[in-house]
Structure 1
Amino acid sequence: MQREVLVVGYDGAVLTDIAGPVDVFDGAGKVCGGYRVRLAAVGGGFAVSGGLRMEAEDLRDVAAGVDTVLVAGGTAFEAAAADPELRRHLRRVADGARRVGSVCTGAFVLAGAGLLDGARVTTHWAFCDRLAAENPSVEVVPDAIHVRDGRVVTSAGVTAGIDLALALVEQDHGARLARLVARWMVVFLQRPGGQSQFSVRSRVPPVRERGLRDLLDAIADDPAASWTVEGMARRAAMSPRHFARVFPRRVGVPPARYVERVRVEAAAGVLESGDEGLDVVARRCGFGSAETMRRAFQRVLGVTPGGYRHRFRTTGAA
């Protein structure tokens, strides 16, 4: 069965938001014949970032019945979200679609059309707070690469659209085809939806205490070290009591939770790129045992280490 994927653009849309998912679905379609990709905008052709002009169908002429509707993000998302004609025809074609989604700030366009009410979604990190403030009925997940909530699928900025499209191909046709398309495009299979848009260390707000900054860098450099609260306090040149108060205020989570997240991130990288046993990975990344690592993965990513490796390994099986 061939599924029609309709990518919706507008003047000022970001080219990568369009080209990334289009290439994924087109590549998968060439292998399995499972997709037909279409590009549409109100009025037909439109200009994307960089001044290039895209040929497209007129969204006003697109009949209902497409399988997946995906709206691109762009610098002009505010105007697109406020365009009554775009909102009306987007609602019309989305009404019967199996999936409705967005890349980056395309989430604002979906929200403007009333298609995100009550849904869990994400968008580019720089616009998550704004999306939540302007749409109180929407639950914004601020740190996800992509989020699937029923038929609503949304992704973070720019290249995250490729991750989302690969996840949808995997949902439709299995991990083998998604891996094949990813390898052909010379990208990782896909970052899991629950994975952060940034590394654990880079998400920490600026820290003024030099000792605390040095500690955070040291944990990122060597997550497998024995990071006890007392040892971390000494490294940060603070008393344990003062450290226990300051760390959550500056970093946003307690020390043990932060170390756990760094270790999960390190283990995820090992699982993606190698074939070492889970016990070996656990010891290498500071968990001590595979069971401890399993519980940490479930808390942080909502998936087991084995399940993570099966879905996101970037080496080995095609």
Structure 2
Amino acid sequence: MQRRVVVVIFDGFQLLDLAGPADVFATASLIVGSERGYRLDVAAVRAGAVPAGKGIATVAELALHEISGPIDTLVVVGGLSVPKRLGDRHLIGEISRLAGTARRIASVCNGAFLLAEAGLLDGRRATTHWLAAPELGTRYPDVDVDADPIYVRDGNVWTSAGVTAGIDLTLALVAEDHGHDVAREIARGLVVYLHRPGGQSQFSTPMRSTTPRSEPLRELQSFIDANPAGDLSVPALARRAGMSDRHFSRVFTKQTGLPPGRYVERSRADTARRLLEETGHPLDRVARESGLGAAETLYRVFRRHWRVAPGDYRRRFSSQRT
């Protein structure tokens, strides 16, 4: 039986949030046959041309109020204009109404905010683009936000990370419907991962703590970042700050939000990541120059912070010509 997918768009939406999942669903229909595949309906508050964030217009064949169930999958896209859409009672109301007729609900990128505004993520675990995750958790405290996964399933509600993660999520939806062999064939054809290694933290900016209020601690923070291979033990740092070990640890933790040891590890991990991106140094040299000591420690730290091995990270993000 053909499965009906309704994709909700709005002025300023992210074009790839629509195009990526649409291509996955369309390719699935080619493989399994149109009778068992997917029928895609693109809808907006008003039918007609809807400009994406970059100005490219997409035609919404249907107005949301024209749609009645049943719906197999409701997909809500994201975009830079999402904050402006949270006050659109018509849009939010229609998302809530259609969710009640859908077998499953999904969001791409910060489309999770629209689901949350409709009350569809209350008490659920969810993800969104790593840049927007802190705001999602603050604005909707009843949502259990996890910023790292590429996508999250909680019951019949699926949420995905930033932009291209909508492809990962849709492959998982197809795998649920038609099996992993079909999803794998689609991934091969689209030249994407079936299961992307690691989480979205590997794509995030360097990890930062709170900037200390006191000038001496700000200077010490800069010293740590500039000297990753130096002696950055608590006693050495406390001496440099002119404090006792205990007082230094207490003050540093209070002003940065991180204990000194954890801050040092984060700083060294960021240095290692930069070296992997910008140099062709072997892993043992990266470990030494970043202050992590040995390649084994580098591997453990990378797995802990970014869920990927250093070599995998370098292959994806190195600026060095190979």
Partner residue of 2:9? 9
Aligned residue identity for 2:201: G
Q: Indicate if the aligned counterparts of 1:80 and 1:86 stay in contact, CA closer than 8 A.
A: no
| Cα distance change, pair 148–40 in 1 and its aligned pair in 2 (3 A) | same
Partner residue of 1:42? 45
Q: Indicate if the aligned counterparts of 1:144 and 1:196 stay in contact, CA closer than 8 A.
A: no
Q: Which moved more, 1:50-59 or 1:227-236?
A: 50-59
Deviation digits for residues 203-244 of structure 1, max 9, x if unmatched? x33422112112222333343333111222244444433211
Q: Indicate if the aligned counterparts of 2:277 and 2:320 stay in contact, CA closer than 8 A.
A: no
Q: Indicate if the aligned counterparts of 1:107 and 1:122 stay in contact, CA closer than 8 A.
A: yes
Q: Indicate if the aligned counterparts of 1:247 and 1:255 stay in contact, CA closer than 8 A.
A: yes
Partner residue of 1:199? 206
Partner residue of 2:284? 279
Provide the C-alpha distance between the structure 1 equivalents of 2:88 and 2:96, rounded to a whole number of angstroms: 8
| Cα distance change, pair 84–169 in 1 and its aligned pair in 2 (3 A) | closer
Provide the C-alpha distance between the structure 1 equivalents of 2:6 and 2:54, rounded to a whole number of angstroms: 22
- Pick the aligned partner of 1:243 from 245, 248, 270: 248
Alpha-carbon RMSD across the aligned residues, in angstroms, is 4.5
Deviation at 1:76, TM superposition (A): 2.6
Q: Indicate if the aligned counterparts of 2:12 and 2:51 stay in contact, CA closer than 8 A.
A: no
Partner residue of 1:71? 77
Q: Indicate if the aligned counterparts of 1:146 and 1:193 stay in contact, CA closer than 8 A.
A: yes
Partner residue of 1:21? 17
Equivalent residue runs for 1:1-318 within 5 Å: 7-10=7-10, 13-15=11-13, 18-22=14-18, 24=20, 39-45=42-48, 46=50, 54-58=58-62, 59=64, 60-61=66-67, 64-66=71-73, 69-73=75-79, 74-80=82-88, 83-93=92-102, 95-96=103-104, 100-104=106-110, 106-123=111-128, 124-125=132-133, 127-133=135-141, 136=142, 138-141=143-146, 144=148, 147-149=151-153, 152-155=158-161, 160-162=162-164, 164-165=165-166, 167-168=168-169, 172-173=183-184, 192-195=199-202, 197-201=204-208, 204-271=209-276, 276-306=281-311, 308-309=313-314, 312-313=316-317
Deviation at 1:27, TM superposition (A): 7.9
Q: Indicate if the aligned counterparts of 2:287 and 2:298 stay in contact, CA closer than 8 A.
A: yes
User: TM-score, normalising length from structure 1?
Assistant: 0.68
| Cα distance change, pair 169–102 in 1 and its aligned pair in 2 (3 A) | closer
For structure 1, the residue ranges without an aligned partner over 5 or more in a row are 183-188
| Cα distance change, pair 230–101 in 1 and its aligned pair in 2 (3 A) | same
Q: Indicate if the aligned counterparts of 2:24 and 2:171 stay in contact, CA closer than 8 A.
A: no
Partner residue of 1:185? none
Q: Indicate if the aligned counterparts of 1:28 and 1:181 stay in contact, CA closer than 8 A.
A: no
Partner residue of 2:175? none
Deviation digits for residues 31-73 of structure 1, max 9, x if unmatched? 997899864223324466699865313244487345x724324
Provide the C-alpha distance between the structure 1 equivalents of 2:75 and 2:86, rounded to a whole number of angstroms: 19
Partner residue of 1:186? none
SS at match of 1:217: helix
Aligned residue identity for 2:219: D
Q: Indicate if the aligned counterparts of 1:87 and 1:109 stay in contact, CA closer than 8 A.
A: no
Provide the C-alpha distance between the structure 2 equivalents of 1:296 and 1:108, rounded to a whole number of angstroms: 32
Q: Indicate if the aligned counterparts of 2:269 and 2:301 stay in contact, CA closer than 8 A.
A: yes
Provide the C-alpha distance between the structure 2 equivalents of 1:168 and 1:14, rounded to a whole number of angstroms: 22
Provide the C-alpha distance between the structure 2 equivalents of 1:38 and 1:219, rounded to a whole number of angstroms: 54
Q: Which moved more, 1:214-223 or 1:298-307?
A: 298-307
Aligned residue identity for 1:209: S
Provide the C-alpha distance between the structure 2 equivalents of 1:27 and 1:224, rounded to a whole number of angstroms: 48
Q: Which structure: larger Rg?
A: 2
| Cα distance change, pair 236–149 in 1 and its aligned pair in 2 (3 A) | farther
Provide the C-alpha distance between the structure 1 equivalents of 2:22 and 2:273, rounded to a whole number of angstroms: 29
Deviation at 1:303, TM superposition (A): 3.9
Deviation at 1:102, TM superposition (A): 3.1
Deviation at 1:268, TM superposition (A): 3.2
Q: Indicate if the aligned counterparts of 1:8 and 1:71 stay in contact, CA closer than 8 A.
A: yes
| Cα distance change, pair 261–218 in 1 and its aligned pair in 2 (3 A) | same
State how many pairs are aligned: 290
User: TM-score, normalising length from structure 2?
Assistant: 0.68
Aligned residue identity for 1:110: L
Percent identity between the aligned chains? 31
Q: Indicate if the aligned counterparts of 1:24 and 1:181 stay in contact, CA closer than 8 A.
A: no
Deviation at 1:195, TM superposition (A): 4.2
Deviation at 1:282, TM superposition (A): 1.8
